[in-house]
Homo-oligomer: A and B are copies of this chain.
């Protein structure tokens, strides 16, 4: 708050903001491929050094971005092909050292704010197994190998009086999952990416990220277990979109820096702080997209069961 900056939670967009051409930004590697069948463009950004992390403004780790324009459209089976693609990418980031996994899925965000409700809505549609397996054994599902899935929706600080991280840390210490999957709505820089993009990373959640702007980290460092973050951009930061429009207007003028200009005229732009931009049909879109994401997690968790 207070100051303006270009705001994006997508590593893909952070890379685009940097003028160094492909291959010349030290410590940052990019891999791309297109999945024809599912019509999904996958871009993997690997931040491999402190230098790269500093340039990108994001921690060291792997960021997989799936661009799936179809995701925003209605579809009878909620784009199962995208869910399957997501499941594969998710499994590649989950450590594979265990025959069976116990995974806690955390639905971050605020159910009452439509654009921030991705996490809670994803958690609503998960296939939860931990309590059944603990009570009746794997036989309950006719499996000899079975992942245990649990979930929590920690809610927002204004309603709980606690940091999300306090709640999650407590539950992790008590229930000892092998890994955490954290789902959250994100801010993109470009409206073209809204609701069409899934980012999966192995770096967890960092302060300042997400529509709700998290204050405390949820990472392997703080929790002691791998933390996979899954996010879909649903909003664009108001200051970012206005800044981009200003730059477009003065495109020829290489001197002009919209962020600096807005900072200098802070009072005129103060209204943009704590505002975000979202689409008018966000309720229907969030409902569909969260179903696609929860099915992605369900498919990943069912794999490896026998």
Contacts and interface: CB of A to CB of B under 8 A. Distances in A.
Contacts of A268: 248
A227 interface: no
Given A271-B191, A276-B277, A161 B245 contact: no
A280 interface: yes
A299 to B, nearest CB: 12
A16 B129 CA distance: 41
B174 A169 contact: yes
A153 interface: yes
A38 interface: no
Interface string A255-278: 000000100010011011011111
Nearest to A250: B249
A245 B248 contact: no
A303 interface: no
Given A114-B114, A282-B113, A171 B167 contact: yes
Interface stretch (A17-25, A61-69, A144-152): A144-152
Copies of this protein chain in the complex = 4
Interface residues of A, number: 67
Nearest to A174: B170
Given A170-B170, A170-B172, A248-B265, A212 B158 contact: no
Interface string A89-129: 00000000000000000000010111100000001100011
A123 B158 CA distance: 12
A184 to B, nearest CB: 14
Given A128-B158, A160-B150, A171-B170, A280 B212 contact: yes
A162 interface: yes
A287 to B, nearest CB: 8
23 contacts: A112-B283, A113-B114, A113-B283, A114-B114, A114-B115, A131-B163, A148-B161, A150-B161, A151-B159, A158-B284, A162-B171, A166-B174, A167-B171, A170-B170, A170-B174, A173-B173, A213-B280, A236-B275, A241-B272, A249-B250, A275-B277, A276-B277, A277-B277
